[in-house]
Protein backbone atom coordinates (compact mmCIF):
# COMPACT_ATOMS: atom_id res chain seq x y z
CA UNK A 1 0.00 0.00 0.00
CA UNK A 2 2.90 2.34 0.72
CA UNK A 3 4.25 1.65 -2.78
CA UNK A 4 0.82 2.51 -4.19
CA UNK A 5 0.84 5.86 -2.42
CA UNK A 6 4.37 6.66 -3.61
CA UNK A 7 3.47 5.68 -7.16
CA UNK A 8 0.29 7.75 -7.00
CA UNK A 9 2.22 10.78 -5.74
CA UNK A 10 4.69 10.46 -8.62
CA UNK A 11 1.80 10.23 -11.09
CA UNK A 12 0.14 13.30 -9.55
CA UNK A 13 3.39 15.18 -10.07
CA UNK A 14 3.28 14.27 -13.77
CA UNK A 15 5.86 11.47 -13.75
CA UNK A 16 5.11 9.67 -17.01
CA UNK A 17 7.41 6.75 -16.14
CA UNK A 18 5.39 6.03 -12.98
CA UNK A 19 2.18 6.17 -15.02
CA UNK A 20 3.62 3.81 -17.65
CA UNK A 21 4.64 1.40 -14.90
CA UNK A 22 1.12 1.43 -13.50
CA UNK A 23 -0.35 0.99 -16.98
CA UNK A 24 1.90 -1.94 -17.90
CA UNK A 25 1.23 -3.71 -14.61
CA UNK A 26 -2.57 -3.40 -14.59
CA UNK A 27 -3.67 -3.09 -18.22
CA UNK A 28 -3.94 -6.79 -19.16
CA UNK A 29 -5.49 -8.02 -15.90
CA UNK A 30 -8.02 -5.17 -15.98
CA UNK A 31 -8.93 -6.01 -19.59
CA UNK A 32 -9.51 -9.64 -18.66
CA UNK A 33 -11.62 -8.58 -15.67
CA UNK A 34 -13.73 -6.23 -17.81
CA UNK A 35 -14.09 -8.85 -20.55
CA UNK A 36 -15.40 -11.28 -17.95
CA UNK A 37 -18.17 -8.80 -17.15
CA UNK A 38 -18.97 -7.45 -20.62
CA UNK A 39 -18.30 -10.62 -22.59
CA UNK A 40 -16.40 -8.65 -25.25
CA UNK A 41 -12.65 -8.04 -25.24
CA UNK A 42 -12.81 -5.01 -27.56
CA UNK A 43 -15.27 -3.30 -25.19
CA UNK A 44 -13.12 -4.26 -22.21
CA UNK A 45 -10.07 -2.69 -23.83
CA UNK A 46 -12.01 0.53 -24.50
CA UNK A 47 -13.15 0.68 -20.88
CA UNK A 48 -9.64 0.17 -19.51
CA UNK A 49 -8.07 2.60 -21.96
CA UNK A 50 -10.65 5.25 -21.05
CA UNK A 51 -9.95 4.65 -17.36
CA UNK A 52 -6.22 5.20 -17.80
CA UNK A 53 -6.83 8.24 -20.00
CA UNK A 54 -9.06 9.76 -17.32
CA UNK A 55 -6.59 8.81 -14.60
CA UNK A 56 -3.81 10.68 -16.37
CA UNK A 57 -5.97 13.64 -17.33
CA UNK A 58 -7.40 14.04 -13.82
CA UNK A 59 -4.28 12.89 -11.95
CA UNK A 60 -3.95 16.04 -9.86
CA UNK A 61 -7.55 15.83 -8.61
CA UNK A 62 -7.92 12.09 -7.98
CA UNK A 63 -8.22 11.09 -4.34
CA UNK A 64 -7.40 7.42 -3.66
CA UNK A 65 -7.67 6.50 -0.01
CA UNK A 66 -7.05 2.77 -0.30
CA UNK A 67 -4.92 0.98 -2.86
CA UNK A 68 -4.60 1.89 -6.52
CA UNK A 69 -5.48 -1.71 -7.32
CA UNK A 70 -8.87 -1.55 -5.58
CA UNK A 71 -9.56 1.85 -7.17
CA UNK A 72 -8.78 0.56 -10.68
CA UNK A 73 -10.73 -2.66 -10.32
CA UNK A 74 -13.68 -0.83 -8.79
CA UNK A 75 -13.71 1.71 -11.62
CA UNK A 76 -13.49 -1.02 -14.27
CA UNK A 77 -16.28 -3.00 -12.59
CA UNK A 78 -18.54 0.06 -12.49
CA UNK A 79 -17.88 1.00 -16.12
CA UNK A 80 -18.35 -2.60 -17.27
CA UNK A 81 -21.65 -2.93 -15.44
CA UNK A 82 -22.76 0.43 -16.83
CA UNK A 83 -21.93 -0.79 -20.35
CA UNK A 84 -23.97 -3.97 -19.81
CA UNK A 85 -26.93 -1.99 -18.49
CA UNK A 86 -26.73 0.42 -21.45
CA UNK A 87 -26.62 -2.53 -23.86
CA UNK A 88 -29.75 -4.04 -22.25
CA UNK A 89 -31.60 -0.72 -22.47
CA UNK A 90 -30.58 -0.25 -26.11
CA UNK A 91 -31.72 -3.77 -27.00
CA UNK A 92 -35.08 -3.25 -25.24
CA UNK A 93 -35.53 0.05 -27.09
CA UNK A 94 -34.83 -1.61 -30.43
CA UNK A 95 -37.27 -4.42 -29.63
CA UNK A 96 -39.94 -1.94 -28.55
CA UNK A 97 -39.63 0.16 -31.68
CA UNK A 98 -39.60 -2.86 -33.98
CA UNK A 99 -42.59 -4.47 -32.26
CA UNK A 100 -44.75 -1.32 -32.07
CA UNK A 101 -46.92 -0.32 -34.99
CA UNK A 102 -45.95 2.84 -36.84
CA UNK A 103 -48.93 4.77 -35.47
CA UNK A 104 -47.45 4.57 -31.94
CA UNK A 105 -44.34 6.48 -32.97
CA UNK A 106 -44.92 10.13 -32.08
CA UNK A 107 -45.63 12.11 -35.21
CA UNK A 108 -44.22 15.23 -33.54
CA UNK A 109 -40.83 13.60 -32.94
CA UNK A 110 -38.93 13.32 -36.24
CA UNK A 111 -35.94 11.68 -34.55
CA UNK A 112 -38.07 8.83 -33.17
CA UNK A 113 -39.79 8.40 -36.53
CA UNK A 114 -36.47 8.29 -38.36
CA UNK A 115 -35.02 5.77 -35.88
CA UNK A 116 -38.14 3.65 -36.22
CA UNK A 117 -37.97 3.69 -40.00
CA UNK A 118 -34.27 2.79 -39.99
CA UNK A 119 -34.71 -0.05 -37.49
CA UNK A 120 -37.72 -1.30 -39.45
CA UNK A 121 -35.67 -1.25 -42.67
CA UNK A 122 -32.83 -3.17 -41.03
CA UNK A 123 -35.18 -5.71 -39.46
CA UNK A 124 -37.09 -6.23 -42.74
CA UNK A 125 -33.81 -6.65 -44.61
CA UNK A 126 -32.52 -9.15 -42.07
CA UNK A 127 -35.77 -11.11 -42.27
CA UNK A 128 -35.30 -11.45 -46.05
CA UNK A 129 -31.86 -13.04 -45.58
CA UNK A 130 -31.49 -16.81 -45.72
CA UNK A 131 -32.09 -18.30 -42.28
CA UNK A 132 -28.46 -19.21 -41.50
CA UNK A 133 -27.14 -15.83 -42.67
CA UNK A 134 -29.77 -14.02 -40.60
CA UNK A 135 -28.93 -16.10 -37.52
CA UNK A 136 -25.18 -15.56 -37.91
CA UNK A 137 -25.65 -11.82 -38.32
CA UNK A 138 -27.92 -11.55 -35.26
CA UNK A 139 -25.61 -13.69 -33.13
CA UNK A 140 -22.63 -11.51 -34.01
CA UNK A 141 -24.18 -8.03 -34.01
CA UNK A 142 -26.96 -8.33 -31.44
CA UNK A 143 -25.61 -10.96 -29.07
CA UNK A 144 -21.94 -9.93 -29.34
CA UNK A 145 -20.65 -13.41 -30.19
CA UNK A 146 -17.32 -13.79 -31.94
CA UNK A 147 -16.96 -15.63 -35.23
CA UNK A 148 -15.30 -18.66 -33.61
CA UNK A 149 -18.14 -18.92 -31.05
CA UNK A 150 -20.76 -18.77 -33.80
CA UNK A 151 -18.88 -21.39 -35.83
CA UNK A 152 -18.80 -23.73 -32.83
CA UNK A 153 -22.49 -23.22 -32.02
CA UNK A 154 -23.65 -23.75 -35.61
CA UNK A 155 -21.06 -26.45 -36.40
CA UNK A 156 -19.70 -24.58 -39.44
CA UNK A 157 -16.25 -23.26 -40.27
CA UNK A 158 -15.09 -19.79 -39.30
CA UNK A 159 -14.68 -19.06 -43.03
CA UNK A 160 -18.38 -19.85 -43.51
CA UNK A 161 -19.29 -17.40 -40.74
CA UNK A 162 -17.05 -14.75 -42.32
CA UNK A 163 -18.58 -15.31 -45.75
CA UNK A 164 -22.15 -15.15 -44.42
CA UNK A 165 -21.39 -11.94 -42.48
CA UNK A 166 -19.85 -10.39 -45.59
CA UNK A 167 -22.94 -11.25 -47.65
CA UNK A 168 -25.29 -9.98 -44.93
CA UNK A 169 -23.41 -6.68 -44.69
CA UNK A 170 -23.42 -6.29 -48.47
CA UNK A 171 -27.18 -6.78 -48.53
CA UNK A 172 -27.68 -4.27 -45.71
CA UNK A 173 -25.45 -1.71 -47.44
CA UNK A 174 -27.45 -2.01 -50.65
CA UNK A 175 -30.76 -1.55 -48.81
CA UNK A 176 -29.46 1.37 -46.78
CA UNK A 177 -28.02 3.07 -49.89
CA UNK A 178 -31.37 2.61 -51.62
CA UNK A 179 -33.19 4.01 -48.56
CA UNK A 180 -30.92 7.05 -48.24
CA UNK A 181 -31.18 7.66 -51.98
CA UNK A 182 -34.99 7.70 -51.75
CA UNK A 183 -35.09 9.86 -48.62
* pLDDT tens-digit map of 27-56: 999 999 999 988 888 889 999 999 999 999
Q: Which pLDDT tens digit goes with each residue over 92-107?
A: 766 666 666 554 555 5
Q: Please list the alpha-helical segments (H only) found in the chain.
A: 2-12, 16-38, 41-57, 68-99, 110-128, 131-141, 147-154, 158-182
Euclidean distance between CA atoms 106 and 125, whole angstroms: 24
> What does the alpha-carbon distance between residue 123 and residue 142 come to, in Å, rounded to a whole number?
12
pLDDT at residue 168 tops 60: yes
Q: What global pTM score does this model have?
A: 0.53
Average of per-residue pLDDT across 72-99: 80
Quick one: pLDDT band at residue 165, thresholds 50, 70, 90?
very high
What is the reported pLDDT for 123?
81
**Distance in angstroms between the alpha carbons of the first and the last residue of the chain:** 61
Q: What proportion of the chain, given as a percentage, has pLDDT over 90?
A: 36
- What is the predicted pLDDT for the residue at 57? 92
Q: Are 130 and 165 in contact (CB under 8 A)?
A: no
Lowest average pLDDT, out of 56-60, 67-71, 72-76, 83-87, goes to: 83-87
Q: What is the mean pLDDT of residues 85-90?
A: 78
Q: What pLDDT sits at residue 47?
A: 93
Mean pLDDT, to the nearest integer, of 143-164? 90
Tell which wins on pLDDT, 154 or 65. Answer: 154
50/159 Cα distance (integer angstroms): 33
Q: What is the pLDDT of residue 181?
A: 56
Backbone angles phi, psi at 89, to 5 degrees: -65, -45
Amino acid sequence: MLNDLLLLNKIKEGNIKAFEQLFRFYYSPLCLYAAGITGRMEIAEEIVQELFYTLWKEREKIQIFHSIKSYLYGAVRNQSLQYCEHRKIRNRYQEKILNNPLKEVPATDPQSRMEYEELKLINNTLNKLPERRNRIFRMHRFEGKKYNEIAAILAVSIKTVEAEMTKALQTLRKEIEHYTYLS
